[in-house]
Amino acid sequence: MTVVLYVLSTFVAFATAAGLTPLIAHLAGRLNMLDMPGGRRQHPWPIPRPGGLAIALAFGLTIFLFWAIDRYMGRPFLIPEEVRTPRFALTALAAFLGMTVGFIDDTFDLRARWQFLGNAIVAFIVIAAGIHIDFVDDPLGSGLIQLAFPVAVAFTMFWIVGMNIALNFIDGLDGLAAGVAAIAALTLGGLALLPQVSEPFVAWMAFTLAGAVAGFLLFNFHPAKLFLGTTGVAFLGTMLAVLSIFGTAKVAAALLVLGVPIIDTFYVLVRRLVSGQPPFAPDRGHFHHRLLDVGLTHQQAVLLIYLMTAALGSLAFMTNGRGQVATFVGLAVLFGVAVMALAQRSAKAEELDPGLYREEADRF
């Protein structure tokens, strides 16, 4: 019965997102919520911005539909008893907060500091509601380390805000951030089904989220008909952060599978600070830009990062918490070497084909 729930919910979320996305694009056009070409924005025509709203609505409507059917039947009909949990309300709160903060930014095009403040407010409310990281995997052993409450609060705040920033930074090519988030959601869902984790509720949420993103990607992959927008970034970032917290200390696994955007964000921030630039000033130093610089096409760069994310997701299944942290550290070193090697070739690539370059979507 639980397998039926996962499959049916994923399919319904996919179909709902596929149906809603064109409607959201049309509505965004009518409301003039568009990314206009010009300056660093090199897309040839105005593109609707708050596409992530379709993901959030598809996810929410799917979960509500299953809940409503069970309420109508008066018994666990589609949602087995083992999937039911009081954390449902907390998940709904986190999803709503992420979607709302992102949609406000897409509506008013806020400056970076206000985006950061919005993410911090979301994290604060989520923590106040009772969602925080109480345990982390011991990097020197096979057990768990219990965090003191002040440390747990600070780490959770950092985790939620950092997840949003990392997804925002990688949202620079059509379909990139959404695809990486979908792979991460599938990984978290699969990990939640492992016997040592046994979190069927997390699996349900994660698979439904992945289905909604997949339906949206039909219209977001290059050439995109609409963008993910801050609505999508904030919703997905908040949901992935919260689901990884629920998943019984699976923060290390999420850290690994999202290693590409997280490590890329770290190196970009360090480089900007060392060079005296504002930490959130946009530039073309992201990993996906480096791939374009050396001659990869838009689709090739995105698919390569998909492949890297899927490979890291596979490693998350084959390693424990200690191994996941060690793999992440090793990846960080290799990633830094790769970025420096790619940077040496970027100037030559720019001379050969300036048309390779596309818009940097992060506005932090």
- For the stretch 284-315, pLDDT in tens is 778 998 898 888 999 999 999 999 999 999 99
Lowest model confidence (mean pLDDT) among 25-34, 92-101, 355-364: 355-364
**CA-based angle 206:89:246, to the nearest 5?**
45
- For the stretch 133-149, pLDDT in tens is 998 877 666 677 889 99
- For the stretch 330-353, pLDDT in tens is 888 888 888 777 776 655 444 333
Q: How many CB atoms lie within 10 A of CB 99?
A: 26
Instruction: Please state the rounded mean pLDDT for residues 50-56.
Output: 96
Position 363 scores a pLDDT of 43
Cα–Cα distance list, 219 to 215, 222, 277 (Å)? 8, 8, 35
Position 203 scores a pLDDT of 95
Position 119 scores a pLDDT of 94
Position 187 scores a pLDDT of 95
- DSSP notation for 174-209: TTHHHHHHHHHHHHHHHHHTSTTT--HHHHHHHHHH
- For the stretch 238-264, pLDDT in tens is 999 999 998 655 788 899 999 999 999
**Each residue of 58-91: b (16+ CB within 10 Å) or e?**
bbbbbbeebeeebeeeeeeebbbeebeeebbebb
Which pair of structure tokens corresponds to residue 201?
A: 């509720």
- For the stretch 196-233, pLDDT in tens is 888 999 999 999 999 999 999 999 999 999 999 999 99
Position 249 scores a pLDDT of 52
Instruction: Please state the rounded mean pLDDT for residues 95-110.
Output: 92
Radius of gyration of the chain (CA): 20
Instruction: Please state the rounded mean pLDDT for residues 82-90.
Output: 90
